[in-house]
Every structure is written in C-alpha cells, then in structure tokens.
Structure 1
Amino acid sequence: MLARAEEFCPKVDGLPARPVAAELVGSFIVNVPKSNARQRQALITFAVEERIAAPLHAVQIVQAPLSNAKPGDHLALVLSNNIMAEIAQADAPHLPEYLLIPRPSSDTGPVWSVWKEGSRAVVRCYDGTGFAAEAAMLPLLWQRAGKPALRSLGEPLGDALPAEDLSDAPPPPDPADAAFSFAQPRHDAARGFAAWKWAAVAVAAALMLHLGFIAFNAHALRQIAEAERRTAEQAIATVLPGMPLTREVGPILSRLTPTQAVAAEGSFLPLLSAVSRTLADAPVGFRRMSWGKTENTLVVLVQSPGLEDLQGVERDLETAGFTVRSGAATAGNGGAEVEMRIGRGAGG
C-alpha cells in the first residue's frame, strides 16, 4: 500500500508518509467519559490496559482520528517501544496502513473493507479498527465475525467471500486518517515518535493470549475441524512455539476475530480475565490451560516455587469467590505443580 500512501498522505518537509504494517499495530475502540486531553489519555490507557498482554511501560498508546464517532468513542493504537526506536531513526512520517483504507459506513450492519494483495489482506472494520491476516485465513475469520458485509478494494477475495467489488475505483482514505502520523522526520526532534511490534499476526484480539493460556484443538465439526486446528497452530506458533494444542480450538479462533465483530461473549473470557486479575501478584505460572465447556471451568496446570504457594493460590481464589478443585500436587527440584479446575462460585 506504499503507492497509496504516497498518493494520498500529506508530505512533511517533502517526505511522503510510510505505512506501518497492520500486524505491528494493535487497534481498539474505547469509550471514556468527557474529559480534557490529559485526563482522556489516562482514561484511554486505563481502558486499553486490560485488553493487551504487554506491560504499559513497554508500549505506547496513541489516540488516532475517528470520524463520525459516537460520543465518548476513541480509536486507540497500541505501539511498542521496540519499534518506536526504529521509526525514530526514519526520515519519513509513519501511519498504520489500515488508515489508508476508508472506514466503511455501517448503516445496515457490520462491514469490512478489504485490501488484498497476494497472500495477505488488510481489513478496515466499520468501527474504525483494522487488522491484517493471511488471505487463506480470511474466510474463517469472516465466518467467526458473523459474516459482515464485505467490500473488496484490491485483488478479488474469491468465491468463499461474497464482496462488493470496488477495485476499479477504490475510495480514497479519509483526509484526517491520511494526515495522521506516528513520527515526523528525524530532524524534527521536538515531535514524538511511536510504533508497535505485535507478536500475533491474526487480530488484535489475540493479545490476551500472552496471559499464559494456549490454543485449543477441537474436532467438533467434522468438515471444518482440521482447518480450524491448522489455523490455530499457525496463529500460536509465533506466540508460544512448540506448545501443544488441547481439545478446544474455538476460544483461540474467537480471539483471532476482531473484538468489535464478535456477536456474543461466553463465559470463558470473563472467567479467564477474573482469574488473571486475582492471580496477578501470585508467584505462579501456567504450564497448560484448557476449557471445561461442560462445567464452564478453566482447567489449569499451575506451577509455583513450592507447595505452600499452591495452597496460597487456592485460598486466594476461594476467597475471591471461585470454586476450586485441585488434583494431586507434585513437588521436585524445579518447584511444585498441581492441576486446578476453577469455576465461578455460587454467587458469581
């Protein structure tokens, strides 16, 4: 999409903007109360913090333009300090490449605008967020997102994706989007720089995977089970290489789908989030995690320095209102571990 950036983006000191790959930029819609600029940045940071799996000191959270936004809605971009240093050395301004795709209107429901080039597709969603994915994964992500309407701005999407073809005259980006920049030229040192390196390719929603849980392998639907398993393996390979998949791949594929397009939220993610918050300061790690769908429980293999720590974790969870069933704990030179089945309490 470099040519599109050069055509539509304003030049700074004669230098055209350069698009930052969508895989490197996480995007979120957050809603915060009316506030001044300083308060708003703090509120946006707080709203995004629990939706990413990186410490705040390692990232930049930048507000991007969002045309026709609902009151209180803001587009937040998550950017890593690692890439920030690289962009700081560049001579040109930079912007996330999905801002070069105009935000599709959603008068009749969810819409994706898709720019496909070869084996890669960049998507701009109706809420203003964006992501990139392998073109081969796009039909599965589209199904998981509830089959939003599609507009094809680049190469044909294929028979599996019924799209309105706008490739003959793709609409230009919104001027405010095209004018956005993470960084100005290097000699303009008074201005800040920001960019982000994200490990998961599929969608921003995959960021929570770094909390320690791994993908799930299911054989639920005979015709699509193998395809879903391969997709999950490919997606997790760069996050936790070599880790085995267990029985249920549904949760990871749901997390690969952009957050705003998920039709409904089950009990898995709220329970995982609540347990993670409870154990945030505990001296433990997760070696394996799976989902007990029948009982709505997290099945977690917990590691800690010693048996007393495991007992403390169980007490903390029960005090927080969870039900915990623990298996037989084992201890060795490397510490102790036990399998716990964690569910909501009677009042949860």
Structure 2
Amino acid sequence: MWAVAGGGAILVDGAVAATTLLVPSESVLLLGVDLPLPTRAKRLAALPFAVEDRIADPIDAVHLALGDAVGERRYLVAVVRHGVMAEWLAIAEAAGIGTAAFLPDALVLPVPVEGWSVEVAGGRALVRVADGTGFALPLAMLVPAWEAAGRPKVQASGDPLPHAMAGDGVAFPAETLADRIAAAPIDLRQGGYARRRTAWPSTTRKVAMILGAAALAHGVIAVADTLMLQRIAERRHDALQQLVATTAPSVPTGGDDFMVRVADLLPRPTGTNRFVPLLSRVAGALNPIGPVLVVRTMTFEGNALTIECESPETGMADRVRAALATAGVVAQVVAAPGGGVRIVARGA
C-alpha cells in the first residue's frame, strides 16, 4: 500500500497484498447520494444530475466515481477535479504503480455504528462518518467541526485526541489494515481513469506513442473525434430518455427542458447532510494555510457554515479569501480587529 506524500508516492505498508495508492481526502468530496435505480449503468447515467447542485465546479470539470451502497438505494460517490486525478496518475506512474487503485485515505478508517471514527496524525485528522462518507481536515479544525456536528460519539486511533474530545474517544474495533483495504467501498480509477489490466511491453508502448503522435498530426482525426463525441452524447440522451420513460412514465421525454425535468426527479440533499460535504470543501481549501490559522468556533445553520478564527500573521483574510476562491468555495471572508477572521461559506 502506497500513499501520496510530498508530491510523490511512498510505500507505507508492504504487507498489504493489493496495490493501492491512498490519496489525500482533502482533494476528494465524498457524498452519500440517493440513486433509486436498479442497475449500475442507470445509476451512472443519473449521477451527474444527482450531484451537480451539490458541487461548486462545473460537472465537466470533475471526475465522478460511484462506490458501494451505504444505505437503502443510497451510494457513496467521490468527486475529484480532473487536474487532481491527472496529477495522481503521474505520481503513480513515476512510482511504478500505474495500475494501483486510488482510495481516499479517510475511507481506510472503519465505519462507526454511530458518530465518527477519527485518526489523528501529523497535524491532520481523518474522519469517517456513520453514513459511510468521510473527510480530512487540519487538526486545528477538528474540535470546532465536531462541536458544529453536535458532538457525535468518537472512536479514535493514532495520536491523542484534542482535550475537548478526549473523554469521548474509544478504540477502533480489531480489524487489520489489509482487511480494511480489501473492503474499500470505492476506487477512483473508473471511466476514463480505469486501471489497465495488463501493461504493454516497453518497445510496443514506444511504437504506439510514435504512431499516435503521427496520427494526431492529421486534422481528420479531430473531425472524427467531434463526430464520435456527438454520437456518444446522442446515445446517452436516448438512453436517458428510455430510462425516464421506464421509471417515470408520466414525465414527458421531449422538448428543450427535458434535462431540467430529469434533475427535478432526483432527490435533493437536506440541510442535515450538507454539513460534512461543505466542511470537507472548506477544510481542503484551507489546508495549505496550515497551523497559522486557529479556529475558535464553528456553526452550521441552513446552508451556511460560519467559522470564527484568528491568526498572528497579517493579511490572513486575503489569504483565506484567495484559498477559498481557488477551491471554488462560495464564501464571505471578513477581517476583524486583533487578527480575527470570519468565514461564512455556503453550500449549493
């Protein structure tokens, strides 16, 4: 088992048989999504419409991975930017593990019966939630997040929990790391990022690269690709119309507003399950700022996450504002006297 660290991949446990690359959960949005459809193919077809109002990025800018069921007709879904996936693929190739599965590291923790599973190490906290999702955040944000979530019960491992949570922690149940990796609920290597089952010989790969470069020089390929994408889009649209006609026969399948009617069919997230995804996005955005930002309080009401924090460094409000904007998080950031910073982030 390997992990992304310092811009590369490091071996963290050679005893785990499966080749898996643990990727930082700060860069992955993990959601529980209601997909009341009978087959995986139909769930995949509906997935973009089910999550597009829960993410900040355009749907074409992200990779969606569908995982195991985490409830009755409810599934684990991972959302990752394409640029991040490309970076992790390059890291895996450079380490000689190009066929490795990609697993968000928070999902290595066991799913608690209730509350949170928490692992603290290296100034960050991994959290697995009872609904099967998970997230990572700087250790400084752990207690405020836990309080904002209603002080859920915690089972913990790794470094000691912060003092405010210490009395609530219990040990993880006995389960080997290999067993937890084997039971991983999702692999990000899906669709265009699917793992290659066999590797080409080096010579064959070089020849293929040369031939591919020569072929790309011909403009006819671009035309063919455009036509192919149009046909794929038409087939997907036809398949979606057939799916709606089968599962919701009362819904018209024609007209320019067909996609709007499809979106209206999908379940909408409630306020109670918006907290963790929004927290995950904010924590991931603020992670590079690190320990110089001290979180004092955190509250969640409606679809707004309010964080009161402070820092001894000047210009922190501008840094926070820039970090959130880069991550696509809709937020208001206001500087207060004495180094205080107030963040109000809103979900979709």
Q: 1:60 to 1:228 in 2, by over 3 A?
A: same
8 A contact 1:52–1:207 mirrored in 2: no
Give the secondary structure class of the aligned counterpart of 2:66. Answer: strand
The CA distance in 1 between the partners of 2:50 and 2:38, in whole Å, is 14
User: Does the residue aligned with 1:245 lie in a helix, a strand or coil?
Assistant: strand
Unmatched 5+ stretches in structure 1: 190-201, 210-222, 256-268, 274-348
Correspondence for 1:17:
20
Percent of pairs identical after alignment? 28
Partner of 1:139: 143
Distance in 2 (alpha carbons) for counterparts of 1:207 and 1:154: 21
Q: Is contact 1:23–1:131 with CA below 8 Å preserved after alignment?
A: yes
Cα 1:250/1:151, change in 2 over 3 Å: same
Structure of higher RCO (CA pairs closer than 8 Å, 6+ residues apart): 2
Q: Does 1:245 align with 2:253?
A: no
Structure 2 CA distance for aligned equivalents of residues 113 and 207 of structure 1: 15
Counterpart AA for 2:30: S
Q: How does 1:276-315 map onto structure 2 within 5 Å?
A: none
Distance change in 2, residues 1:163/1:154 (3 Å)? farther
Distance (Å, rounded) in 2 between the aligned partners of 1:100 and 1:155: 16
Task: State the distance in 1 between where 2:310 and 2:197 align.
Answer: 43
Q: Secondary structure of the residue that 1:86 maps to in structure 2?
A: helix
Is it true that 1:58 corresponds to 2:131 in the alignment?
Answer: no
Give the secondary structure class of the aligned counterpart of 2:161: coil
Residues 224 and 99 from structure 1, CA distance in 2 versus in 1: closer, same or farther, beyond 3 angstroms? closer
- Structure 2 counterpart SS, 1:229: strand
In the alignment, residue 140 of structure 2 is paired with which amino acid?
A
Of 60, 82, 103, the match for 2:111: 103
Say yes or no: does 1:204 pair with 2:277: yes
Letter in 1 for 2:42: Q
Q: 1:144–1:235: structure 2 CA closer, same or farther, 3 Å change rule?
A: farther
Q: Is the 8 A contact 1:102 1:174 kept in 2?
A: no
The match for 1:42 among 31, 40, 45 is 45
Whichever structure has more helix as a proportion of its residues is 2
| Structure 2 unaligned residues grouped into runs of 5+ | 4-10, 201-274, 283-295, 299-305
Residue 166 of structure 1 is matched in structure 2 by 171
Judged with a 3 Å threshold, the aligned counterparts in structure 2 of structure 1 residues 37 and 139 are, in CA distance, closer, same or farther, namely same
Q: Post-superposition shift, 1:73?
A: 0.5
- Distance (Å, rounded) in 2 between the aligned partners of 1:163 and 1:236: 34
Deviation per CA, 1:183-222, whole angstroms, max 9, x where unpaired? 5369658xxxxxxxxxxxx96315888xxxxxxxxxxxxx
Distance (Å, rounded) in 2 between the aligned partners of 1:179 and 1:44: 15
1:229 to 2:306 alignment: no
For the aligned residue pairs, the C-alpha RMSD in angstroms reads 3.8
Question: Residue 150 of structure 2: SS of its match in structure 1?
Answer: coil
The answer (yes or no) to whether the contact 2:307–2:344 under 8 Å persists in 1 is: no
Describe the superposition over 1:37-59 as per-residue Cα deviations: whole angstroms up to 9, x where unpaired. Answer: 22211222211110001011111
Contact 1:5 / 1:100 at 8 angstroms: preserved in 2?
no
Shift of 1:36: 2.1
Aligned length: 219
